[in-house]
């Protein structure tokens, strides 16, 4: 078959299975297949054609290319802008949902960190308090012990050098009367 004799690109009944449509690219069959249009799709296409006939579009100098779906450039641009706006709103919703979940996760983790940190800090504070109490007790004990020791030592020295105590007799050696 010659190119000039080939049917234009579009959806045609699939030669392998008549229950679905297959895309003819103008030269050969592609692997793109779809179910035949439903009655709702056929009704929508008929309404679109009737609307286009009632409101004839101003033809531009260049012909408007027809896409595989039979829509004009303006229709395709409108669909693209609608899809973009829906996609943006969905992305915004997903980002908000992600942000909410991340905030909830952070709130769930923070008390755990605080609990472990405060427990460790609590034990360190207790250890410091115990160390200070023991250090104070050690210094008090040293002061008391030293004071007692020096008092006892002073009493012993006083007892050794006390003049009121009798001197032991040397047994009359070297005394003359």
Looking at residue 59, what is its pLDDT? Answer: 43
Give the separation between CA 141 and CA 25, rounded to whole angstroms: 104
Residue 110 is predicted with a pLDDT of 62
Average pLDDT over residues 135-149: 92
Residue 42 has pLDDT above 70, yes or no: yes
Q: How far apart are CA 42 and CA 48, in angstroms?
A: 10
For the chain, what is the mean pLDDT? 79
Q: What is the pLDDT of residue 44?
A: 82
Give the DSSP letter string of 141-156.
Answer: HHHHHHHHHHHHHHHH
Tokens of 140: 């008090």
Domain extents in the chain = 3-67
Q: Which of 20-29, 39-48, 83-92, 159-168 shows the highest mean pLDDT?
A: 83-92
- What number is the average pLDDT over the span 141-151? 90
Structure token digits, residue 27: 């030269």
The three-class DSSP label of residue 110 is helix
pLDDT exceeds cutoff 60 at 175: no
Q: What is the pLDDT of residue 60?
A: 42
74 contact partners, CB below 8 Å, separation of at least 6: 57, 64
Handedness of CA 68, 61, 77, 50 (dihedral sign): negative
**In terms of pLDDT, which residue wins out, 69 or 151?**
151
Determine contact, residues 8/23, Cβ cutoff 8 Å.
no
Q: How far apart are CA 118 and CA 37, in angstroms?
A: 68
Lowest mean pLDDT among 41-45, 71-75, 112-116, 122-126: 112-116
| Mean pLDDT, residues 56-75 taken together | 58
For residue 170, is pLDDT > 70? no
Which of 31-40, 52-61, 147-156 comes out lowest in average pLDDT?
Answer: 52-61
pLDDT > 90 in the chain, percent: 18
């Amino acid at each position: 078959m010659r190119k000039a004799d080939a049917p234009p690109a579009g959806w045609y009944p699939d030669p392998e299975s008549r229950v679905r449509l297959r895309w003819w690219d103008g030269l050969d069959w592609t692997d793109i297949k779809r179910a035949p249009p439903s009655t709702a799709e056929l009704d929508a296409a008929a309404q679109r054609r009737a609307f286009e006939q009632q409101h004839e579009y101003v033809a531009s100098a260049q012909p408007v290319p027809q896409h595989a779906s039979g829509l004009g450039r303006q229709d395709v641009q409108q669909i693209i802008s609608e899809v973009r706006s829906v996609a943006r709103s969905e992305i915004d919703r997903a980002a908000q949902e992600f942000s909410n979940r991340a905030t909830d996760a952070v709130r769930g983790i923070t008390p755990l960190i605080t609990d472990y940190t405060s427990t460790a800090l609590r034990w360190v504070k207790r250890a410091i308090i115990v160390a200070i109490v023991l250090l104070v007790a050690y210094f008090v004990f040293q002061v008391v012990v030293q004071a007692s020791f020096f008092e006892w030592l002073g009493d012993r020295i006083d007892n050794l050098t006390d003049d009121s105590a009798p001197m032991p007799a040397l047994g009359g050696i070297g005394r003359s009367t």
